[in-house]
C-alpha cells in the first residue's frame, strides 16, 4: 500500500476517534468492545440481555409516557399483550409518545418519508444514536469496514442534485476517508469520474443503495471498466436488494455484498453475515413477527427499540414483512436469524437527458411539506408525471408549487406535472404501497 494511503488511513482513524470522543461523548474503543462481546455471545446470554433491557424499557414507558401509561395498566405487562404501534399512532399522538422524563432539549428530531410516501416525524435521544452507531461500526466490520479505511459511498445527497455541494460535506468526506457518488443523480459523467477516483484511491469497501449500485455496475459493465484491486466487501442498505442487482454487482466488483436492513425510526435491524444469513441486532432491538407461526408463515415485522428513551417504540409496525429461522448459522454467530425479508421497493426515474434520479430524492424533499399527508409520484412518460396527493386543511397553493418545482428541477423544466387530489391512495394487490412508480421503458432490465 503506498505510504500516502497509509498516512491518510491513520489520520482518518485518529479523526474518527476524536469525533466520537468529543462530539459524541463516548469512548468508542471500550464501548465497541462491549458491544462486540455482547453480539458475539452465546444465544442464552444474548436473550438474557435482551430480556433485561426490555423490562427496563417497558417500565420506563409505563411510568413516563402518557400513551403507554394508558395502553398498559401495570408495569409488569408482558410485551405480547401490548398492541402494536402503528404509524398513524405516531402521527396522531406524537406528544403523548414522548417521555416526560426526557427534557424537550434532549430530544433529537428525525423524520422519514416512509415506504408509503407518508411523512413521519419522531424523536430520538443521544444514547439511541450512540448505541446505534456502535452497532453500525460492529456490523460493518463483517463486510471488511474499519475506522479510517477508504470507502466509496453511493448514496443520496440533496446538495449535489441542487448544484450547491457544500464545504461541510466535503470536509466530512475528507476526514472520514469517504468518496462520494451521488445516488440521487447518476450520469455517465459522474459514474466515470467515480470510477477514475476509485482507480486512484482503491476504496476497501462500498456503501450503497442497491438500485444505485446496480446502475453503477451496469455502467462499468457496458463500458468495459473493471476494478483492478481487491475490494473487501460491499454494504447495501435502505431498499430491496434484488437478486439480479446482487449477482451483477458481485461479479463486476469481484466481492461479496453484505446486505444491511434498517430504518431511520429504529436503526440497524439486521445484517447479513459471510454465510448469507441476516442476523438480528439484539443489542438495539427486540424483533417479533406478527404471524401465527413466525418460523413458517411470514408476517409484519414488529420492532421494539431498546435504547430510545425519549420516545419509546414498542412493537412498532415498520411496514416490512419477514419470517424467522431457528437454524444455527455456520458463521458461528449466535444472533437469531431473519430468514426472509419482504421489504420496500422503489423506482429509479430516468430524465430525457439520460440522468437517473433516485426515488429517495423525492421522499427527502417532501417529508416535511406542511399539509401533505401522503403522496405517490408516477412517471408516465419522459415528459409527463402524475403526482397524487392526500392533503389536510393546512395544504396551500405554495406547497403545491413547491412540489411541482422540485419534480421539474430534478426531471426537467419542460416536464408537465398533473397534481391529483385523492381521498386515499389505493393499495396495489401486493399490499405493499410504493410512493414512486416509473412507467418509462428503460434499455435495461430493471
Ligand atoms: Zn451467520
Q: Tell me: the pLDDT tens digits for 323-340?
A: 999 999 999 999 999 998
pLDDT category at 344 given cuts 50, 70, 90 is low
- Whether 206 shows a pLDDT value over 90: the answer reads yes
CATH fourth-level superfamily of 348-438:
ANL, C-terminal domain (3.30.300.30)
Task: Measure 80 CA to ligand 1 centroid, in angstroms.
Answer: 27
- How far is ligand 1, taken at its centre, from the CA of residue 279, in Å? 6
Grid cell, residue 396, equals: 396551500
What is the pLDDT confidence band of residue 56, given thresholds at 50, 70 and 90? very high
Mean pLDDT, residues 135-148 taken together: 95
Would you state the pLDDT for residue 441? Answer: 59
Q: Which residues surround ligand 1, an ion (CB under 5 A)?
A: 273, 275, 277, 329, 331, 333
How many A from CA of 269 to the centre of ligand 1? 15
User: 404 alpha carbon to ligand 1 midpoint, in Å?
Assistant: 46
At residue 246, does pLDDT exceed 50? yes
Contact residues for 401 (Cβ-Cβ < 8 A; gap 6+):
none
Task: State the span(s) of the chain assigned CATH 3.30.300.30.
Answer: 348-438
Please state the rounded mean pLDDT for residues 91-112: 94
Integer CA distances (angstroms), 143 to 41, 124, 136, 258, 361, in order? 19, 27, 11, 6, 27
Q: State the distance from the centre of ligand 1 to the C-alpha of 147, rounded, in angstroms.
A: 23
Answering whether pTM is above 0.85, one says: no
Measured at the CA of 19, the angle between CA 180 and CA 168, to 5 degrees, comes to 45
- pLDDT of residue 408 exceeding 50, the answer is yes
Whole-number Å distance between alpha carbons of 188 and 194? 10
Q: Which residue did the predictor score with more confidence, 103 or 241?
A: 103
Higher per-residue pLDDT: 114 or 423: 423
The predicted structure's pLDDT at residue 113: 59
Q: Ligand 1 center to residue 212 CA distance, Å? A: 26
pLDDT at 118 (0 to 100): 63
Q: How far is the CA of 271 from the centre of ligand 1 (A)?
A: 9
What distance in angstroms lies between residue 220's CA and the mean position of ligand 1's atoms? 31
Report CA(328)–ligand 1 centroid distance (Å).
8
Residue ranges matching CATH 3.40.50.12780 in the chain: 3-41+126-342
Instruction: Calculate how far, in angstroms, residue 207's C-alpha sits from the geometric centre of ligand 1.
Output: 20
Average pLDDT over the chain, rounded to an integer: 88
Mean pLDDT, range 298-316, rounded to an integer = 95
- pLDDT tens digits for range 105-116: 999 999 875 445
b/e sequence 360-395, b meaning 16+ C-beta within 10 Å: bbbbbbbbebeebbbbbbbbeebeebbbbbbbeeeb
| Contact criterion met (CB below 8 Å) for 304 and 343 | no
pLDDT at 388 > cutoff 70: yes
Sign of CA dihedral 62, 307, 47, 324: positive
Q: Which CATH class is domain 3-41+126-342?
A: alpha beta
Amino acid at each position: 500500500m503506498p505510504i500516502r494511503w497509509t498516512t491518510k488511513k491513520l489520520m482518518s482513524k485518529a479523526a474518527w476517534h476524536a469525533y466520537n470522543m468529543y462530539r459524541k461523548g463516548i469512548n468508542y474503543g471500550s464501548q465497541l468492545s462491549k458491544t462486540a462481546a455482547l453480539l458475539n455471545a452465546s444465544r442464552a446470554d444474548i436473550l438474557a440481555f435482551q430480556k433485561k433491557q426490555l423490562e427496563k424499557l417497558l417500565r420506563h414507558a409505563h411510568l413516563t409516557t402518557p400513551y403507554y401509561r394508558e395502553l398498559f395498566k401495570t408495569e409488569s405487562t408482558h410485551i405480547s399483550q401490548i398492541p402494536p404501534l402503528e404509524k398513524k399512532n405516531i402521527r396522531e399522538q406524537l406528544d403523548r409518545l414522548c417521555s416526560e422524563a426526557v427534557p424537550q432539549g434532549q430530544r433529537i428530531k428525525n423524520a422519514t418519508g416512509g415506504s408509503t410516501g407518508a411523512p413521519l416525524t419522531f424523536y430520538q435521544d443521544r444514547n439511541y444514536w450512540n448505541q446505534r452507531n456502535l452497532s453500525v461500526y460492529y456490523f460493518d466490520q463483517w463486510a471488511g469496514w474499519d475506522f479510517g479505511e477508504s470507502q466509496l459511498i453511493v448514496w443520496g445527497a440533496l446538495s449535489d442534485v441542487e448544484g450547491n455541494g457544500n464545504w461541510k460535506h466535503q470536509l466530512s468526506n475528507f476526514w472520514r476517508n469517504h468518496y462520494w457518488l451521488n445516488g440521487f443523480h447518476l450520469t455517465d459523467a459522474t459514474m466515470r469520474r467515480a470510477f477514475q477516483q476509485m482507480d486512484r484511491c482503491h476504496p476497501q469497501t462500498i456503501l450503497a443503495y442497491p438500485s444505485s449500485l446496480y446502475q453503477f455496475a451496469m455502467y462499468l459493465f457496458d463500458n468495459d471498466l473493471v476494478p483492478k484491486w481487491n475490494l473487501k466487501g460491499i454494504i447495501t442498505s435502505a431498499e430491496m436488494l434484488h437478486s439480479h442487482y446482487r449477482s451483477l454487482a458481485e461479479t463486476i466488483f469481484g466481492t461479496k455484498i453484505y446486505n444491511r436492513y434498517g430504518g431511520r425510526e429504529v436503526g440497524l435491524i439486521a445484517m447479513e453475515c459471510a454465510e448469507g444469513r441476516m442476523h438480528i441486532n439484539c443489542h438495539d432491538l427486540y424483533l417479533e413477527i406478527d404471524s401465527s407461526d413466525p418460523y413458517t408463515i411470514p408476517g409484519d415485522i414488529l420492532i421494539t427499540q431498546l435504547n430510545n428513551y425519549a420516545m419509546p417504540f414498542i412493537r412498532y409496525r415498520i411496514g416490512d414483512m419477514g419470517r424467522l429461522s431457528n437454524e444455527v448459522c455456520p458463521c458461528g454467530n449466535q444472533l437469531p436469524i431473519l430468514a426472509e425479508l419482504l421489504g420496500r421497493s422503489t423506482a429509479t426515474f430516468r430524465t430525457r437527458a439520460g440522468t437517473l434520479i433516485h426515488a429517495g430524492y423525492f421522499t427527502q424533499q417532501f417529508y416535511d411539506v406542511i399539509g401533505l399527508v401522503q403522496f405517490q409520484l408516477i412517471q408516465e412518460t419522459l415528459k409527463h408525471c402524475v403526482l397524487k396527493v392526500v392533503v389536510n386543511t393546512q395544504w396551500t397553493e405554495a406547497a403545491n408549487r413547491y412540489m411541482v418545482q422540485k419534480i421539474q428541477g430534478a426531471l426537467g423544466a419542460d416536464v408537465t406535472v398533473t397534481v391529483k387530489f385523492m381521498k386515499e391512495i389505493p393499495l396495489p394487490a401486493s399490499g405493499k404501497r410504493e410512493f414512486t412508480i416509473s412507467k418509462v421503458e428503460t434499455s435495461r432490465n430493471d
